Chain A
Amino acid sequence: MSSRIELLNAGLLRSDGRRPYELRTLAINFAPQGTADGSVTYSHGLTQVRVSVLGPHEPKQGTRRETFHDRATLNVEVQLAPFGVGERRRRGRSDKRLLELAASIKSTFEPVVQTHLYPRSTIDIFVHVLQLDGGLLPACINASTLALATAGIPLFDFVCAISGGVYGTQPLLDLTTVEENDVPSVVVGVMPRTGRVTLVQMETRLHMDRFEEVFRVACDAGKVLWSEMRDALRERTGDLVDKLEAGPGMVVAKETET
């Protein structure tokens, strides 16, 4: 492996100064976007993704034949901003990589969203990638989980995803673009409550002996992400509940609606 940037130096520091198992800074912003039912802007280091969720709603005229009589359909669309990557390039909606990304997100969430509650409806997930610095699929999945939760769509559990790789024999977590280009990597998505894995994706070649270690470390990292995401969501919900309960002119009468 010849690279101009040293990915892991003798003192076990990576190119951006992190330790091998250290994750990048998370920033989660729940500001409402237009008419979306749920929206979140999620940053993982320099990778920034905005996800808007619309639904469940009546399917539009063109997609009506895809509806199921007993459950909802998920529709995922991914768009990459031209200024998001180093070289500025306009990518159309039918770009193969983006379509593949959308398909991965859709298959990750099909067993997680309780679609049996919404027959003949559609749930739209619109993903806009604003900045890209490695870890695109994990960021999209984490942001989609938060957006679906904010939209009030019932989920069986969170899905927390993280990318992992191996440099020599040392497993690394949360890879940046520089590291992804050089090092074999795997993306793991877990449902933290039960520890079940909903997504394992690898496009490079990784030695079998190394795989187990990376996989286990990535699953543990998923649990850490889960506590962060849960706290952010709880803070936001607490904020809304306080405004709702303590609104001006409100008589606090507990409604017992089932």
Chain B
Amino acid sequence: MLSFISFSSQSTDSTYHRSARHHPDVEDLMDVDDDDFSGSEPRLTCPGETITSSQAFMRGHGTYVDKEDVIASVVGTVERVNKLVTVRAIRTRYNPEVGDLVVGRITEVQPRRWKVDANSRQDAILMLSSVNLPGGVQRRKLESDELQMRNFFEEGDLLVAEVQAFFSDGAMSLHTRSLKYGKLRNGQLVTVPPILVRRLKSHFISLPCGVDLILGLNGYIWVSKQAKDSDQGEEGFDAEAVYSNQNDDIDSATRAAISRVSNIIRVFADHFVPLTDTLLLEAYEWVIEQEGDAKRLLLGDTGDALVAAMSLRC
């Protein structure tokens, strides 16, 4: 499987060289009072840095308490809500919340459950009782279903699901109990840092070029051919269609559109730009105007030009 390694265009200016020496008095510890939090400048922290005294504030994620100080434990920005101080890490694995939409890949088939890789600290778990069984949404689980789990999901399959709950050790429990969730086909997966996918009202985006997008909050984005709206009645839940492993025929124009959108997403991910649907729409129009090959987007300068053009427009 081919995979795309990120651009190296930024490596030239990201090397940090320092050979100057400071007078000791120049370095002083940060003295924190309430005013510091209300500034518009985001306050950056590193592990081991004292944020404030623990007598006035409660500590949240990304911090710990040592004697009387609240100390940051991750690299990120300090956020304060009333009396709660947290540090939001700038780059971290996906932190799941109940109700999040995630795209995942099946890694294992176990008795009555599947293990799903969702770019988080542990694999998520999809219980057999949390999927729609063919022959009606309300059908009872039979013993034959437990023996035929691979007819539904196999190792390597991609699916979109919602986080239902958590297990005691923090692993997610997923469910696909809706007609819009389930196995994915006819498309391509793109991986971005999870922090770039914001919580939107709807994570199912339809672009006018015939491409459908599913923005998983765990950083996995599914770019696919637009699904035809077929009327799926409640009684006729056809297993053949929903759990089939057969891709439809996709014409070359749609394939080119899918490739372009995937490359646009990769460019934005590399420049650390958060993704929204309006941004992707404008970016696609810009790329069409350029009339280049989908591959050209992967060149460093085209990517930089794209990001610059988007900054100007918005």
Contact = CB atoms under 8 A, between A and B. Distances in A.
Interface of A: 25-32, 34-35, 37-38, 55-58, 69, 114, 118-121, 149-158, 191-194, 227-228, 230-241, 243-250, 254, 256-258
A95 B288 CA distance: 54
Nearest to A29: B15
B91 A150 contact: yes
B18 to A, nearest CB: 6
A231 B48 contact: no
Contacts of A243: 271-273
A152 B169 contact: no
Interface in B61-83: 61-62, 64, 66, 71, 73-77, 79, 81
Contact of B44 (A35, A155, A237, A254): A237
A55 to B, nearest CB: 8
B227 interface: no
A84 to B, nearest CB: 20
Contact of B60 (A57, A194, A235, A258): A258
B92 interface: yes
Contacts of A29: 11, 14-16
Given A228-B18, A233-B46, A257-B88, A156 B61 contact: no
A158 B48 contact: yes
B243 to A, nearest CB: 25
A25 B17 contact: yes
A229 B91 CA distance: 18
Contacts of A244: 90, 195-196, 272-274
Contacts of B71: 193
Nearest to B307: A248
A148 to B, nearest CB: 8
* Band of interface residues on B: 35 or more
Interface string B274-297: 101011001000000000000000
A241 B273 CA distance: 10
A152 B75 contact: yes
Given A241-B77, A254-B79, 9 more contacts: A26-B17, A57-B93, A149-B75, A151-B92, A154-B74, A227-B27, A235-B16, A244-B196, A258-B81
11 contacts: A31-B11, A31-B14, A149-B46, A155-B47, A193-B71, A194-B66, A240-B90, A247-B273, A256-B81, A258-B61, A258-B81
B139 interface: no
A154 B62 contact: yes
B122 interface: yes
Contact of A28 (B15, B49, B50, B60): B15
A201 to B, nearest CB: 22
A157 B91 contact: no
Contacts of B93: 37, 55-57, 152
B41 to A, nearest CB: 10
Contacts of A241: 42, 44, 77, 90
Interface string B2-31: 010110101100111111001000010000
A114 B64 contact: yes
B170 interface: yes
